[in-house]
Amino acid sequence: MINKRVLPIILFLFSLAGIGQAGYAQRIAVFRVTLNQSDVGIPLNVDLDKITYAPDSTVSLVAVAGNRRSPVPFQVEHGYHRVLWWIADGKEQSSRKQLTFELLKSPASRKDENYPVRLQDENGALIISDQGKNVLQYNYKTVYPPKGVDTVFKRSGFIHPLWSPEGNVLTRVNPPDHRHHVGIWNPWTDVQFEGRMVDFWNIGDKKGTVRFARFIAKNEGPVYSGFKALQEHVVLNDPTVKEKVALNEVWDIRVYNISENMWLWDFTSILNCATPDPVLLREYRYGGFGFRATEQWDNQNSEVLTSAGKTRKDADATRARWCMIDGAINNGHSGILFMDYPANYNFPEPMRIWPENMNGRGDVFFSFSPTRNTDWDLRPDKNYVLKYRMLVYDGTITKEKAEQVWQNFAHPPGIQISK
């Protein structure tokens, strides 16, 4: 199996006919992947250090189908353990119940770094593209609101635009009705810190804001490309100093190389207290992961559907594993499937979904808000993680397909490893 969009990502120094020849390529392990039903590519991973300590440059991955072996693009993520990542191709999944891969040890290989998913730093923004098409833009430089609007609404550390594969912009920033809305962002609303209430969401109140601090890492590869960025939740109403950082947050964003006509990307937020004092995220109807949709969507041309079967008429304040939002745009149709991860706090998370008459025309806003119906106490010296996955598409997808994609996020296919 090979992703035709990447020819080749890894250049193997052996011929496929010579794989089995003694002394040329040694089999390290066999991976048998039991598939969940889906035709969307699935990111797969195994702990490489549990299998081999061979250097990254001396391992190769091939897909096995009968007597045929095909090179598979893979990527090694370095952390406490090395993690081997690759993609189970959607077309292969739709026709087979099990895929077999072999991990090989061979002479050191040379990588072709002309990756399909790339990072480009441009004018204070980091843009991730796939096959030359823009996927999303992370704005790390401060972005100011339109001329004539109070500069208190300036922000950094948010995603806009988010594009569809056909190039439709699905996000919106600084709309007149809510100047603090900035595409995709992740602040908190009713926060108790050092005995005071702070609002990092409604920055017009001048109590708090969120800003980009620095990049921790940038990664490009044949399987995914992305970045880690440190963001600061800053208190602006501290009586003793001009400002104080209450929360540190790391955004881990990665876009996977799965398909020619869809984007699949992960948003992971890692929160911890920036001082020895705890931070209490108090119960409030919105706060956390937020999405402000394009101004082209209203109650006449867009739809909402959740995993619980709720629509825009009754979805607000309910819980869901996923929420699908799509609508007409630029003479076409595009949408996003937002997926919640089972390990997230208060899963399945409550949502804030604007009613059909919002702003008189039915503007679209969505939020996974774990503190909608309960407090969240963040203690010093601990990390707190929220993880979401998005599938961005043109056209429409069925609720059955949405459920399949979520299942592969929440419960990845089983991988049996043998020698």
Predicted pLDDT at 307: 98
User: Average pLDDT in the 190-206 region?
Assistant: 96
| pLDDT of 159 above 80 | yes
Q: Which two tokens stand for residue 232?
A: 């600061």
What does the alpha-carbon distance between residue 372 and residue 56 come to, in Å, rounded to a whole number?
44
**79-96: pLDDT as tens digits:** 999 999 999 987 765 566
Q: In this structure, what are the phi and psi dihedrals at residue 280, rounded to the nearest 5 degrees?
A: -105, 115
User: Average pLDDT in the 229-248 region?
Assistant: 92
| Spatial CA neighbour of 287 closest among 187, 179, 171, 366 | 187
**108-122: pLDDT as tens digits:** 666 667 899 999 999
User: Average pLDDT in the 132-139 region?
Assistant: 97
Indicate the fold that domain 117-410 takes in CATH.
Beta-galactosidase; Chain A, domain 5 (2.70.98)
Tell me which of 8 and 165 has the higher pLDDT. 165
User: Average pLDDT in the 206-225 region?
Assistant: 97
| pLDDT of 28 above 50 | yes
**356-406: pLDDT as tens digits:** 999 999 999 999 999 999 999 999 999 999 999 999 999 999 999 999 999
Q: In this structure, what are the phi and psi dihedrals at residue 44, rounded to the nearest 5 degrees?
A: -115, 150
Q: Which two tokens stand for residue 205?
A: 């109140």
**pLDDT-based confidence at 255, cuts 50/70/90?**
very high
| pLDDT of 16 above 50 | no
| pLDDT of 15 above 90 | no
In this prediction, what percent of the chain has a pLDDT beyond 90?
A: 85
| pLDDT of 270 above 50 | yes
Which of 101-110, 161-170, 325-334 has the lowest average pLDDT?
101-110
Pairing of strands 351-353, 365-368: antiparallel
Q: Which two tokens stand for residue 47?
A: 């702990």
What does the alpha-carbon distance between residue 213 and residue 186 come to, in Å, rounded to a whole number?
15
**pLDDT-based confidence at 24, cuts 50/70/90?**
low
Predicted pLDDT at 14: 36
Predicted pLDDT at 8: 40
Residues 6+ apart with CB under 8 A from 240: none
**pLDDT-based confidence at 339, cuts 50/70/90?**
very high
DSSP 206: S
| pLDDT of 157 above 50 | yes
User: Average pLDDT in the 320-334 region?
Assistant: 98
**Whole-number mean pLDDT of the chain?**
92
Predicted pLDDT at 373: 98
Residues 6+ apart with CB under 8 A from 33: 44, 88, 98, 99, 100, 101, 413, 414, 415, 416
What does the alpha-carbon distance between residue 2 and residue 38 come to, in Å, rounded to a whole number?
17
Predicted pLDDT at 376: 98
User: Average pLDDT in the 239-246 region?
Assistant: 89
Residue type, 357: N
Q: Which two tokens stand for residue 22?
A: 């003694």
Predicted pLDDT at 84: 98
Predicted pLDDT at 264: 98
Q: Find the helix or strand (DSSP H, E) in which 402 lies.
A: helix 399-410
DSSP 222-276: SSEEEEEEEEEEEES--SSSS-EEEEEEEEEEEEE---SSEEEEEEEEEEEESSS
- Please identify which residue in the block is written with the tokens 């091939």: 62
Bridge partner list, 255: 225, 265
Q: Find the helix or strand (DSSP H, E) in which 173 lies.
A: none
DSSP 6-26: STTSEE-SS-GGGTTSTTT-E
Residue type, 172: R
**pLDDT-based confidence at 5, cuts 50/70/90?**
low
> Taken in order 311, 316, 317, 320, is the CA torsion positive or negative?
positive
Cβ atoms of residues 164 and 390 within 8 Å:
no
Q: CATH 2.70.98 region(s) of the chain?
A: 117-410
Predicted pLDDT at 346: 98
| Count of residues in the chain | 419
